[in-house]
C-alpha cells in the first residue's frame, strides 16, 4: 500500500535524516509538510484537470454569454441550431467546434456540421431551405464507421462570429407545424 509505505518512510528514514541534518525536528516537520502539500496539490490538479471538469467550468462560464452558451449546448447535446448570417445565408446544423473553450466572450469563429442550408427571403426574411445534407450523410453512414469522421470533416463549415445575425435552436418538427399549408421545408 502506497500510503503505508510513505508513512514508514516518514517514520524511519525521515526521522534519521532529521537527526543527522542541520534541521531541528520542528524545521524538519515543516519541510515534510511543505513537500507533502506541494505533492498533494500537484496530484489534485492532475485529478481535477479532466475533460469533464473543464466542460463543467466552460458551461458555468458560458452562462454569462448567451451566444456562447447556445453554441456550447448545441455541441454538447447535439442539438441543431439555425445560424442566420448577415448576408441572409442560413445554416441549420450541429455545432462541431468552438474556437476557444478557455476564453469565454472571445469566440471568434465556430464550425458546424450542416443538416440543411438556404437563405432568408430579402423582403419577408422567411426561411428558404435549399440544400439537404442529411440524405448525403445517410449514404456516408452506410459506408461504415471508419470513414465517417473524415467525410464529415469535409462538410463542416467555419463561421466567423462577427458574421452571425441571429442564432437559435432549431426543431424541424416545430418548423413543419408552424408552416401554413404545404409543410415541406422549402415552402417557408
The size of the chain, in residues, is 188
Pair type for strands 127-132 and 157-160: unpaired
| CA pair distance 100, 28, nearest whole angstrom | 45
Mean pLDDT, residues 123-145: 80
| Residue 187 pLDDT class (50, 70, 90 cuts) | very low
Average pLDDT over residues 127-135: 86
Q: Is 169 left (phi over 0), alpha (psi -120 to 50) or beta?
A: beta
Phi then psi for residue 159, to 5 deg, are -120, 130
Contacts with 70 (C-beta within 8 Å, 6 or more apart), sequence order: 81, 167, 168, 169
182 versus 170: which is more confidently predicted? 170
pTM of the model: 0.62
Q: What is the pLDDT of residues 3-60, one digit of tens each?
A: 666 666 666 766 666 666 666 667 767 777 788 888 788 777 766 666 667 677 666 6
Cell 507533502: give the residue: 36
Which residues fall within 8 angstroms of residue 124, CB to CB, at 6 or more apart?
none
Amino acid at each position: 500500500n502506497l500510503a503505508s509505505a510513505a508513512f514508514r518512510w516518514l517514520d524511519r528514514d525521515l526521522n534519521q535524516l532529521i537527526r543527522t541534518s542541520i534541521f531541528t525536528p520542528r524545521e524538519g516537520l515543516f519541510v515534510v509538510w511543505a513537500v507533502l502539500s506541494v505533492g498533494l496539490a500537484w496530484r489534485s490538479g492532475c485529478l481535477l484537470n479532466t475533460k469533464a471538469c473543464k466542460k463543467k467550468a466552460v458551461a458555468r462560464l458560458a452562462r454569462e454569454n448567451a451566444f456562447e452558451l447556445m453554441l456550447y449546448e448545441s455541441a454538447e447535446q447535439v442539438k441543431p441550431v439555425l445560424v442566420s448570417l448577415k448576408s441572409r445565408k442560413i445554416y441549420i446544423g450541429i455545432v462541431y467546434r468552438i474556437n476557444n473553450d478557455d476564453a469565454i466572450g472571445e469566440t471568434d469563429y465556430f464550425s458546424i456540421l450542416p443538416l440543411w442550408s438556404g437563405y432568408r427571403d430579402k423582403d419577408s426574411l422567411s426561411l428558404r431551405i435549399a440544400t439537404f445534407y442529411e440524405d448525403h450523410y445517410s449514404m456516408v453512414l452506410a459506408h461504415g464507421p471508419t470513414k465517417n469522421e473524415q467525410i464529415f470533416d469535409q462538410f463542416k463549415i467555419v463561421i466567423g462570429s462577427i458574421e452571425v445575425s441571429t442564432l437559435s435552436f432549431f426543431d424541424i418538427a416545430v418548423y413543419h407545424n408552424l408552416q401554413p399549408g404545404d409543410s415541406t421545408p422549402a415552402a417557408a
